[in-house]
Amino acid sequence: MPGIASGSPLVLLAAVGAATATIGLGTAGVMLPNHTPLAVAESALMLEALHPDRLDLGIGRSLGFTPPIRRALRAETADGFADDLAELLAYLDGTGPVTAQPAVARPVPVSVLATGSGLTVAARLGLPVVVGGPALADPDRVRAYRREFVATETNPAPRVTVSADILVADTDADARVLALAEAVAMAESRRTGDFPPLRPVTEMPELGPRALEVAERTLASAVFGSRATVRRELERIVERTDADEILSSASTFDRAALRASDEALVEVLS
């Protein structure tokens, strides 16, 4: 995907960790159906050993967009996600059928990027969840996760992080223009299997009816607008989900506008 630095999240985190001293290193995430649990565990443990107390491992269950990608990854189905996740956890805590190395001083925190059945799996295994997109439209799923959560020594209580593309601009219309860049790229990716670099409105392709529908759904799950609009929307999301944390992961074609948006978001949350 030329528009996303996602070919190997754990390798990218090694580079980020080497270039920094204190920033948290998080995967959002490693798609477990595409990798063996042991390989993911060994990479995570190596990162934790290199950069102690900085790693958070986000694990997802999504497959590649197109059949050729799924075949290339040897990942035709995510049906075994629950078992693979349990196996990964066993390798990370040293209880697996083989011992993953290197040994580390603390358990590597694991969260599940959860949609649909992922919330059920996370509750059963006692893991925090990161929820975004369509899952936010049904707060009953989040409530069920909290109700069914099985406490563990590592995670004694459920924890919900709400992930959203958050863009702040002077006006709602300006923010929509920024958000539209990723929405259109997402719509294209569903058709082509490629996530192209983000472009301004004047350079965007003409979308057909199905692509327009995907773009509108992507916009509907984003949070964008003026400072006042974004504050109201975030308050509404927290009220509906009882979120413990908000994760902003927005991107757009204009790097200066993105920086200004992030700075404005800090003001909104202050």
Over residues 204-260, the pLDDT tens digits come to: 888 888 888 888 888 988 999 999 999 999 999 999 889 999 999 889 999 999 999
Taking a C-beta distance cutoff of 8 angstroms, is the pair 131, 116 a contact? no
Give the 3-state secondary structure of residue 95: coil
Percent of the chain with pLDDT over 90: 60
Asked which of 14-23, 89-98, 129-138 is least confident by mean pLDDT, the reply is 129-138
**Virtual torsion, Cα 186, 187, 191, 196, nearest 10 deg:** -40
Asked which of 37-46, 91-100, 190-199 is least confident by mean pLDDT, the reply is 190-199
Q: So what's the pLDDT on residue 108?
A: 95
Determine the residue type at 147: R
Model's pTM, two decimal places?
0.86
**pLDDT band of 202, cuts 50, 70, 90:** confident
Q: Was domain 9-163 assigned CATH 3.30.465.10?
A: no
> Where are the chain's structural domains?
9-163, 166-269
Q: H helices of the chain, where?
A: 9-19, 37-50, 67-72, 81-93, 117-125, 139-148, 172-192, 209-221, 227-241, 255-269
Asked which of 109-113, 175-179, 187-191, 212-216 is least confident by mean pLDDT, the reply is 187-191
Q: How far apart are CA 98 and CA 103, in angstroms?
A: 13
What would the two tokens of residue 37 be?
């649990």
Q: What is the mean pLDDT of residues 99-114?
A: 93
**pLDDT band of 9, cuts 50, 70, 90:** confident
Q: So what's the pLDDT on residue 7?
A: 73
